[in-house]
Chain A
Amino acid sequence: MDESSNSEWNWDFYEELVDDVEENKNIIQCISCGKCVGDCPASKVSSFNVRKVIGKVLRGDKSVLKDSDIWYCYLCERCKRVCPKDNINIPLLIINLRNESFKKGYGPKYNDLRKYVEMSERFLKTGVVLDEPLGKKLPAERIDELNEICNFARIKYVFKASKSTTKSKKRKDKS
């Protein structure tokens, strides 16, 4: 049983998250009923527990960013649907926490995202995630639009990181 006294509440972390994603302000309405945990696919196969995550955030416990738990969320939105409160958007909170985790360098390394390197590359070069899509390809001039939209996004960093990795690998192979 996860018990806390009032003196343990610390709003700094919560306020940081709300500053970044305003919708997170609603997590304060959580009544700890546990419906989200009971219906969560990730909770059945890992130690991911939405109620604990929210509890940590409301106590200002940033260890939640280091925990591997948040990376087990299925983003299936079941918790959002079964939550008796109206506007608690747990999947959005998890995405926000993962973002903070990335920023602090705790998240998965780009190597762990290697499947996404290929997908990112294809999206930025062709506008689709898989090669040889069904039907006509996106015209070249439209692909520039997508690259402009994705400026400064991680999708470009993983793509660029993969290019430098490939180059250094080629150099190694040559030598």
Chain B
Amino acid sequence: MNTTNLALNLTEIEEMYPENPIDFFRDKKLCLFKACLEKYFPGVRFGIEDFLTDLELNVMTCTNQSCCSGTFFQRNLITRAQFGAINERNLSEINKIADILLFSCNGCYNSLIRGREFLNNPDVRKKTQDILNQLKNKNNSDNYPGKYEIVDDLKLKLVHDLDFFYLIKNSVVNALKYDLKDMKVAVHYGCHYLNLSRDKDSIDEYLRPKTKLEELITLFGGNPVDYQERESCCGWGASQVVIHPKEALKITFNKLKSAENVGADFMVTPCPTCLYTLSKPEYREKMQKWYGEKLEIPTIHLNELIAILRGCEEERCITLRRKTPRIEEIFEIITQ
């Protein structure tokens, strides 16, 4: 099984629709994978949902989708086969209703791609199918409505929001009401976007630096700044910030400090988990206590930023539920 088949082939779409890649999606059903941390940052979901709706695309979420469970696999609380079965259940449900599955979270995206990779191991694949068969055997009961098989050639294709926005960048730019007024922006891709193993399939992909965020920021009228810790981890590290907070927040501190050192006005990321670590006021306070310096650089998700630039109501982008340092100042500067 070739796991790259699961990812949407962006090059093919660019070749098929060189003028307007958005046209590829016109007759497709698009599903947004629900990331748990969107609870804290609803603008991450609304930012893309509202935009796709305005573009008159067919967009939905799947009621039967569960969390990706990556966090439990990473903490040894479920096996690879159980992780695989949770993934296959989600893929199977979403495959019934949609053609394209979009991800606002690096963690969810990596979970589904990695869950599929594990199935290349025949033993894991058999155990995963055995678990799914257990559900099938109980299918007569009302409590078990699902029948699941591992489908090798899924109709459903997966795409990360960053790759999607980059592919349709002209449509994004055309929809913007404001620009970034030459503000200095530090980009943070996040480990599970930067370190995708499928990039090792070709030497070109492996060596090519990732620059999509910088290119988008430039198109939005901003000034992407290079900084020493550009590729470093946010500090979350599969819950290291919970288990070993002093060490993990040192990484977070170094990252934010490095961006502040080059005068970045704010930091943008395509992952809500990174955003949570980089922006949580409690973590900022701990960093000040442990490392003696107050860091004020605001952080924002790409989807939220696009929503602000499109002129969406504050509640639909950065939301009133969130009061991180200077975030409203950035909002004011962009929308003034």
Contact = CB atoms under 8 A, between A and B. Distances in A.
A81 B195 contact: yes
Interface string A106-138: 011000110110011001000111101111101
A123 B247 CA distance: 28
Interface stretch (A7-15, A56-64, A139-147, A162-170): A139-147
A28 interface: no
Interface in B131-183: 131, 134-135, 138, 142-146
B76 A102 contact: yes
User: Contact size class for B?
Assistant: 35 or more
Contacts of A77: 110, 191-192, 195, 197
B17 interface: no
A39 to B, nearest CB: 9
A173 interface: no
A51 interface: no
Most B CB contacts (10 A, CB to CB) among A72, A119, A135, A136 go to A135
Interface string A143-155: 0111011110111
Most A CB contacts (10 A, CB to CB) among B63, B67, B194 go to B67
A74 B237 contact: yes
A23 B121 CA distance: 8
B145 A45 contact: no
Interface stretch (B21-29, B77-85, B261-269): B77-85
B287 interface: no
Nearest to B241: A74
Contacts of B42: 134
Interface of B is mostly: helix
Contact of A44 (B69, B143, B191, B251): B251
B123 interface: yes
A139 B237 contact: no
Contacts of B65: 138
Contacts of A153: 77-79, 82
A153 B75 CA distance: 12
Contacts of B75: 113, 116
Interface stretch (B30-38, B213-221, B322-330): B30-38
A81 B199 CA distance: 8
Nearest to A80: B197
Contact of B247 (A72, A107, A115, A145): A72
15 contacts: A22-B121, A41-B233, A42-B247, A45-B247, A74-B238, A76-B195, A76-B237, A77-B197, A78-B191, A95-B76, A116-B239, A123-B72, A142-B64, A148-B135, A150-B78
Interface of A: 21-23, 41-42, 44-46, 71-78, 80-81, 86, 95, 98-99, 102, 107-108, 112-113, 115-116, 119-120, 123, 127-130, 132-136, 138-139, 141-142, 144-146, 148-151, 153-155, 158
